[in-house]
Amino acid sequence: MRIGSVLENQNIEKRISITPEIAKKYISLGFEISLSENYGEHLGITDNEYTSLGVKILKDENEIINNVDLLIQLGLLSDEKCSMIKENQILIGIFDPYDNKDKLENLVKKNIKIFSLELLPRITRAQSMDILSSQANLAGYKAVIEAFANFKKAIPMMMTAAGTIPAAKVLVVGAGVAGLQAIATAKRMGAIVFATDVRMASKEQVESLGGKFLTVDESENLETEGGYAKEVSDEFKKKQEDLLNETLKKIDIVICTALIPGKKAPLIIKDHMIANMQPGSVIYDLAAVQGGNTVFTKVDEVIVKDGIKIMGEKNILNNLPISASNLYSKNVFNFVSNLLDKEKNQININLEDEIIEKTLIK
């Protein structure tokens, strides 16, 4: 069995899908690995590191796509490269089936088996494959680092002979994986942290990390069976808006992480709220690529509004590509291992397995 991966579009994606450590594991399972030339060069990983393990490095990416059984990527390949994928090949990655519906349907019609890993069910057995959690964890950490780097004051409280510098106050909007890591990171750096989320189950997690959980009175638990946030009612939105408006008056840094899978990011921080914030405050919007949680968010731009910096990148993980690649490649390896029938030494697409059934694009 042959596994391959070609270099992503470097203008969009710096992560890689197969690190040397994981290549070695695939080979130990009996796979042959083919990668494109200079596959990890931008991360300081030489082709020699791969070839010393038995990986084939090829100049012609078309040759890789044409000859492998499993093609592992991060995002969907260009239309030209997708057209080269053949019947019965398996494609694994993060393919955004909501936005790429037509392209994926065309591939399925060619009898190409596509697994999009953001569709993994939230069950215990799938945790080691959970690419959303592993990548969001890093994103939450990096968002805090980026926001703090753009904040012009000290973060922790400092008592000096010249006077006391108060600790920065941080608000994390959305307490999923990214939000919880943001809370933990901000607390470690000495900030006073507040957090809000529509899911009441988040309260205990926020408080366990030292954050103060903000919630509207008589709020219901707005959580899906899969653990994601539901869309909220207009009445809830109004109550939440009033709470945020008052809270933001005393906040220095906001980390926005609120997302609803497959839909535009909810607009949470509106213009009048930003107008009430202290000049010099910073908002980092991790939801930028899906429209943003603030009214002014623009992808890959720093917007200054009334003295408030509003930041949001298309792919913040490009700022942590080595760590992100290490985790992603391990997640995918665990997924491929689950596909493998070790007795027959072949891939078995067992649709009675919830992990396989939920991630397969039909």
Residues acting as catalytic residues: 122, 127, 130, 133, 228
The amino acid at residue 19 is T
Q: What is the CA radius of gyration of the chain?
A: 22
Contact status, residue 276 vs residue 304, Cβ threshold 8 Å = no
Single out the residue of 244, 324, 321, 254 nearest to residue 285, CA to CA: 254
List, in sequence order, every beta strand (DSSP E) within 44-109: 56-58, 70-72, 90-93
Backbone conformation region of residue 162, classed left if phi is above 0, alpha if psi is from -120 to 50, else beta: alpha
Q: Decide if 118 contacts 360 (C-beta within 8 A).
A: no
For residues 64-100, one letter each, b for 16 or more C-beta atoms within 10 angstroms of the residue's C-beta and e for the rest, the string is bbeebebbbbbebbeeebbeebeeebbbbbbbebeeb
Q: Rounded to an integer, what distance in angstroms lies between the CA atom of residue 176 and that of residue 137?
A: 9
SS3 of residue 68 by DSSP: coil
Q: What is the DSSP letter of 253?
A: E
In terms of phi and psi (left: phi > 0; alpha: psi -120 to 50; beta: otherwise), the region of 356 is alpha
Residue from 94, 7, 2, 61 nearest 361 by CA: 94
First to last CA, the chain: 23
Q: 232 and 256 in contact (C-beta within 8 Å)?
A: no
- Would you give the DSSP letter of residue 317? G
